[in-house]
Chain A
Amino acid sequence: SQQGEEDPQALSIQEGENATMNCSYKTSINNLQWYRQNSGRGLVHLILIRSNEREKHSGRLRVTLDTSKKSSSLLITASRAADTASYFCATVLTSGTYKYIFGTGTRLKVLA
């Protein structure tokens, strides 16, 4: 079964606006990661946040993690048309089994 569920499933915004995507998961994690997928391509890693961290920044990306609520959010500030893609969260479990479990994804469309 899916570990993560993202919402919204789809998001359409104007260039320059901020985009926020949320991810919820079910079990204890070692870390949580966000990935981007352009249509028909492989996934590309964006950012990793460990279970003992609450917030992390990378360029225009800001990720938060609330382990008590088992949720994370990805904020993309000042969005660009090139940010149009699907975004997935992935959780790495604490059991040491090397499994990365992906959520259902958010399809972001940034209108120029």
Chain B
Amino acid sequence: SQTIHQWPATLVQPVGSPLSLECTVEGTSNPNLYWYRQAAGRGLQLLFYSVGIGQISSEVPQNLSASRPQDRQFILSSKKLLLSDSGFYLCAWSVRLAGAGELFFGEGSRLTVL
């Protein structure tokens, strides 16, 4: 069966520090991968999605970046965090079919920037 792992679960970082959130999927090949951010009590904002290794589409201009170094690994990074980067970050994957199927979510990473 397929599983998705996301870590760390919680982190507190000072403004200006770097960030690395990692997500890996097991039990499937060639998934579409996604990073979403959720502000407290709000909906999900699509940040990045990837349909293959090295293929990253960015949805929102920001100081975040994403990379997909391996087929089932998706990394969210920042060189210098801002207070506004605080939030709940969710990684998700879907079967690589155009526009079909459900998203499978990780348990999220809660980032607090102080």
Contact = CB atoms under 8 A, between A and B. Distances in A.
Interface of A: 2, 4, 30-31, 33, 35, 40-45, 48, 88, 90, 92-94, 96-105, 107
Nearest to B88: A40
A7 B38 CA distance: 18
B103 A100 contact: yes
Nearest to B59: A99
Contacts of A104: 42-43
B100 A31 contact: yes
Contact of B46 (A30, A96, A101): A101
A93 B34 CA distance: 15
Interface of B: 6, 32, 34, 36, 41-44, 46, 49, 51, 57, 59, 88, 90, 92, 94, 98-108, 110
Contacts of B101: 48
Secondary structure class of chain B's binding surface, majority of residues: strand
Contacts of B100: 30-31, 92
A40 B87 CA distance: 11
B43 A92 contact: no
Contacts of B46: 99-102
B43 A43 contact: no
Nearest to B51: A98
A68 B86 CA distance: 38
B43 to A, nearest CB: 4
